[in-house]
Amino acid sequence: LTLEAAELRVLDMPIRFAFETSFGVMRRRYVPLLTLRANGLEGYAEGVMDHLPLYREETVPGALALLEGQLLPRLLGRSFATPEAFALALAPYRGNRMARALMEMAFWDLWAKHLGLPLWRVLGGVRTGIPVGVSLGIQASAQATVDLAADSVAQGYGRVKLKIKPGWDEEPVRAVREAFPGIQLTVDANSAYTLADTAALQALDAYGLKYIEQPLAFDDLVDHAELQRRLRTPICLDESITSVADTRKALTLGAARVINLKVGRVGGHLEARRIHDLTLAFGVPLWCGGMVETGVGRAHNIHLSTLENFTLPGDTSSASRYWDHDIIQEGLEVEGGVMPVPEGPGIGVTLDREVLERVTRQQTTVRA
């Protein structure tokens, strides 16, 4: 495949509700959307960075400057026979894994389309439907949390995850657990606690949570390992995992017993698959997280989730939960708690050009 041109857009996507986490309230996403062109085909991917460095350090403005000014000009005009060859061209660069993932994932879409196969088959997946759960933001009251959990259970979602923060943890967890004694329940702190909060986190041990996601700092594996020794509930790492090297260190230290894998955070599908293979070897279960993506990012997540070790429900809930108008024509909708895997070549989704034009705020084309 010879890369001819890249189109980089920034979309402004209003979310259907205010999504509150421990790091703030999200009302819209600014989505970098990349199209790579080669051999008459188009590959798509979206970036999971935010406009502010809240979840991790990478940002939309930083990624745009790096991609447009430096990385894309170095890649266009070149030929790559495989995703492995493409990844080698990006391998010398440190960090910036969200920006690198954007290019790597668009290349995988191109590659699978070139082979005429759905991406999940090219990646080596083993299932055609993905068990999924929902991620519920911080609500104004425990009752509001229970009501949202009730809607999610009624829609068939197989797991409910509650966003928590210091001072808003045991109360919503107890309320939802009392209302639904049998559901798979988890919490996500997005790094809001420290070891000084051990007692508050130990209090959650009473509620049979499947895991506590990212309780401590995004870059601190040692403290997570110490906390895990103090808890019965498994710790799941999200923000802390940016590579297979991080994953090996985390699992060796005992900093996590579950991993949330986001392909857009770790540099792309190849690194994601390495992490998958490592967790399988460690006997540690995986699930596929989400970053409130549009249909393009969701489709990539769904294809990745077909790999064997994604045994816990992922965060790839229905597109209609977040968007009134998604940028793809296909509706990525959950049925009975299962997200079907798109069957067309590549990621198997088609852009809705009318919606796309309406939400595009910036657009540049980089040519070879």
- Can you give the binding site for ligand OSB, defined by CB under 6 A? 55, 135, 188, 190, 238, 289-292, 315, 317
102: helix, coil or strand?
A: helix
Binding mask 144-183 for Mg ion (x = CB under 5 A): ----------------------------------------
Binding mask 210-239 for Mg ion (x = CB under 5 A): ---x------------------------x-
In the block, tokens 């999610």 appear at 152
Does residue 262 carry a catalytic annotation?
Answer: yes
**CA–CA separation, 311 vs 324, rounded Å?**
30
Q: Where does 22-154 show beta strands of DSSP type E?
A: 24-38, 41-46, 129-131, 134-136
Q: Which of 46, 170, 188, 293 binds Mg ion (CB under 5 A)?
A: 188
Min dist. Cβ of residue 290 to ligand OSB (A): 2
Q: Which residue is nearest to Mg ion (CB)?
A: 238
6 or 250: CB nearest ligand OSB: 250
80 or 157: CB nearest Mg ion: 157
Element (H, E) at 160: strand 160-163
23 or 282: CB nearest Mg ion: 23
Structure tokens at 164: 């928590």
Structure tokens at 47: 């970036």
Min dist. Cβ of residue 193 to Mg ion (A): 13
First to last CA, the chain: 13
Min dist. Cβ of residue 176 to ligand OSB (A): 16
Number of residues this chain uses to bind Mg ion (CB under 5 A):
3
Min dist. Cβ of residue 137 to ligand OSB (A): 8
3 or 327: CB nearest ligand OSB: 327
Write the Ramachandran bin of 295: left for phi over 0, alpha for psi from -120 to 50, otherwise beta. Answer: alpha
Which residue is catalytic, options 113, 161, 210, 262? 262
Question: What single-letter amino acid sits at 310?
Answer: F
Which residue is catalytic, options 113, 163, 165, 210? 163
Q: Which residue is nearest to ligand OSB (CB)?
A: 290
Does residue 163 carry a catalytic annotation?
Answer: yes
172 or 290: CB nearest ligand OSB: 290
Min dist. Cβ of residue 288 to Mg ion (A): 12
Looking from the CA of 199 toward its CB, the CA atoms found within 13 Å total: 2
246 or 315: CB nearest ligand OSB: 315
Which residues are bridge partners to 135 per DSSP? 161
DSSP state of 42: E
Min dist. Cβ of residue 48 to Mg ion (A): 12
Cβ neighbours of residue 72 closer than 8 Å, sequence gap 6 or more: 6, 8, 103, 366
Supply the DSSP string of 195-242, one letter for each residue: GGGHHHHHHGGGG--S-EE--S-TT-HHHHHHHHHH-SSPEEESTT--
Q: Which spans of this chain sit near Mg ion (rule: CB under 5 A)?
A: 188, 213, 238
Residues that are catalytic? 163, 262
